[in-house]
Chains A and B, each alone.
Chain A
Amino acid sequence: MSGIQLVLLIIVAAISGMGSVLDEGQTHRPLVACTLVGIVLGDVKTGIILGGTLEMMALGWMNVGASMAPDAALASVISAILVIIGKQSIGAGIAIAIPIAAAGQVLTIFVRTITVFFQHLSDKYANEGNTRGIEMCHFLGLSLQGLRVAIPAALVGVVAGTDMVTSFLASIPEVITRGLQVSGGFIVVVGYAMVINMMQSKNIMPFFFLGFVFAAFTGVNLIGFGIIGAVLAILYIQLSPKYNAVAVAADDLELE
C-alpha cells in the first residue's frame, strides 16, 4: 500500500466512524464503507460485493433511543482491508467482520462515555456565553468517533499484507470459514427481529404474515413489495374505523 493510499484509507475510515455516530449520510453502512475502502485500495468490485454481503447481514441494525446496534463502521472498514489487501475470501471477510463489530461497539460505548466530559465543558462555556467553546466541544466529540475507526484501520492497513497476518488468516480452519458463510445466510434475522420489535403492534402484525406468505409463493421483486405494501397501508388507513370515528358519528346523526 502506498503512502497516499494509507492517508486516503485513514480519511475514509474517519468518515465512516463519524457516520456511525451521526447516522445521517450512512457512510458507516457496509454498502457504503466497503465500497469506499475498495475505491481507495484499488479493488472497487471486491469492496462492493463484500459491502453487499455484509449489508445483508446488518440489515436492520439500528440505534433506537439509547440502545445500540453492533458497530457496522469498524467491521466494514477492517474486513474490507483484510479481504482486499490480505487477499482473503468473502467468507473470511464475514468471519472477521462480526467479532470486529463487537469490538467496535465496545469502543463506541467508551467514546460515548468520555464525551460526557465535553458535555460538562459545554456547560461551563455556556455560563461564559462562549459559543465557540461549545462548538469546539461538539466537534471534538465527533472527531473522537472518527479516530475510533481511523486508528485501528491505519494499524490493520499497515500489517494487512504481511506474511504474519496472511498466515494467521490462512490458519483459520475451513469448517469455521465455511460455517460462518452458512450462518451469513441467516444472521440477518437478528436485524429483522430488531425492526419488527420496534414496529410491532398486535393489530397490524397480519401484514407481516401477508408479506411472508406472498413472498413465499410468488416471484414479485422488492420494488413490487414496496408498492403493494404502500397500497395496503393506504387502504388500511382509509378503511380503519379508528380514523373514521367522526364520519360514523355524523352518519348516525343523519339517520336519527
Chain B
Amino acid sequence: MSKSKLKENANRQVHVTSTKTLDKSDMKKIFIRSWFLLGSFNFERMQSVGFCVSLIPALKKLYKGDELKAALKRHLEFFNTQPFIASPIMGITAAMEEQRAQGMPIDEASISGVKVGLMGPLAGVGDPIFWGTARPVLAALGASIALSGSILGPLIFFIAFNAIRLATKWYGLNYGYQKGTQIVSDMKGNKLKKLTEGASILGLFVMGALVSKWTSVNIPYELSRYTGPDGAEVITTVQSILDQLVPGLIPLLMTFTCMTLLKKKINPLIIIFGLFATGILGYWAGILS
C-alpha cells in the first residue's frame, strides 16, 4: 500500500463499532513495560520507541492490519518527559485509542496533540518532585547511614524511592486511563501548579539545609596564635572566624558560582574538575584540609 493511502486510511474515522475494551491485565502489561520507557533513548526522538513498546499490548488488542500499522507509527513520534509521570500520559493515550477503536470521532492529530501537550507541563511537575526533592532527600539520608558501613543506608534509599516510583506509575496509569482527556481540563486548574510549587519549596528548603550541613570545607589557615589570660593557647584560623559568622558560607558561595556557571551552559564535569583542581592546589598550599 502506498504511503499516502496508508495515511488516508489512518485518518479515516473508524466506522465499525467494536466492543474492544482494555481490561486490568492490559493495564498491568503497560505498567510493567513502562519500567523500560527510556531503554532505547536516543537523541533523535528520545523516548519514542519506549512509549510505543509500552502501548503495544493495548494497540494489538484494539487494532488489526493497517490500523495497527498506523497506530504503531503514531506512537513512534518524538516523546520525552519525566519517566514516572509518563504513566498518566500512557493511561490517557490508551483511553483515547480505545475510544477511537470503538468508533468514536477521535482523529490521530488529537491523540498526538494530547501527548505532546502533556509531556512538557507534566515533566515540569515530575522533575522537581522526583529529581529535585524525593531522590536527593532519600539519597542523602541513605548515604549518611551508609558512611558508617550499615546496609540500612542503601536499603532505605532503594526501597523508599522504588515504593514512591511504583505507586506513582501504577496509580498514574490508572488515573490517566479513567479520567481520559478530562485530565487536560483538570490541568487548567491550580492543582498541578500547587503541587509543583509545593514540591519546589520543600526541595529548595532541604537544599538550603544540605548546602550548609552536608558539605565540608575547612580552611585551617592560621591568622593568629596567642596565649590567653588563662594560659590556654588560642588559635584563630580563617575557618573559626567563618564559623562564628555563618557556618557554611563558603559552600553557599560555591553553590551560587556553580549555578551561574551551569546557566552559562558549562558542562558540569568541567566545573567538577575545576573544583578538584581547587582541592588539590588548596591542600598542597596548606589552605584547605
Chain A residues with CB under 8 Å of chain B are 18, 21-26, 29, 31-32, 35, 44-45, 48-49, 51-53, 55-56, 59-62, 64-66, 69-70, 98, 101-102, 105, 112-113, 115-116, 118-119, 122-123, 125-129, 131, 134-135, 137-142, 145, 175-176, 178-201, 204-205, 207-217, 220, 222-223, 225-226, 228-230, 232-234, 236-237, 243
Contact with A along B2-16 (1 / 0, CB 8 A): 000000000000000
Closest to A228 in B: B205
Question: B131 contacts A193, CB within 8 Å?
Answer: no
- Asked whether any CB of chain A lies closer than 8 Å to the CB of B136, the reply is yes
Selecting from B100-108, B224-232, B265-273, the interface stretch reads B265-273
Inter-chain CA distance A255–B119, complex, in Å, is 43
Question: A22 contacts B204, CB within 8 Å?
Answer: no
| Nearest CB on B from A223, distance (A) | 7
Question: B279 contacts A180, CB within 8 Å?
Answer: yes
Inter-chain CA distance A169–B261, complex, in Å, is 32
- Asked whether any CB of chain A lies closer than 8 Å to the CB of B48, the reply is yes
| Nearest CB on A from B196, distance (A) | 9
Question: A48 contacts B154, CB within 8 Å?
Answer: yes
Q: Which of B43, B150, B202, B211 contacts A48 (CB 8 A)?
A: B150
- Asked whether any CB of chain A lies closer than 8 Å to the CB of B186, the reply is no
Contacts A115-B41, A116-B42, A126-B73 known; A190 to B271 CB distance under 8 Å? yes
What B residues does A69 contact at CB under 8 A?
268
Question: B83 contacts A208, CB within 8 Å?
Answer: no
Inter-chain CA distance A44–B276, complex, in Å, is 28
Contact with A along B245-280 (1 / 0, CB 8 A): 011101110111011011100001101110110111
Chain B residues with CB under 8 Å of chain A are 35-46, 48-50, 52-53, 56, 59-60, 65-66, 68-69, 72-73, 76, 80, 83, 123, 127-128, 131-132, 135-137, 139-151, 153-154, 157-158, 161-162, 165, 190, 193-194, 197-218, 246-248, 250-252, 254-256, 258-259, 261-263, 268-269, 271-273, 275-276, 278-284, 288-289
Question: A225 contacts B206, CB within 8 Å?
Answer: yes
Question: B263 contacts A126, CB within 8 Å?
Answer: no
What A residues does B66 contact at CB under 8 A?
129
Inter-chain CA distance A113–B151, complex, in Å, is 37
Please give 7 more A-B residue pairs, beta carbons under 8 A apart, in addition to A48-B151, A182-B279.
Answer: A51-B146, A62-B135, A131-B68, A141-B42, A142-B40, A214-B209, A220-B209
What B residues does A226 contact at CB under 8 A?
137, 202, 206
Q: Which of B39, B139, B289 contacts A31 (CB 8 A)?
A: B139
List 29 A–B pairs whose Cβ atoms lie within 8 Å, in order of A's numbering. Answer: A18-B39, A21-B38, A23-B38, A25-B162, A26-B162, A31-B154, A31-B158, A48-B146, A49-B147, A52-B144, A55-B146, A98-B272, A102-B273, A112-B42, A113-B42, A134-B72, A179-B288, A182-B282, A182-B289, A185-B217, A190-B258, A199-B132, A200-B259, A207-B205, A209-B208, A215-B209, A216-B248, A232-B201, A232-B205
What B residues does A55 contact at CB under 8 A?
139, 142-143, 146
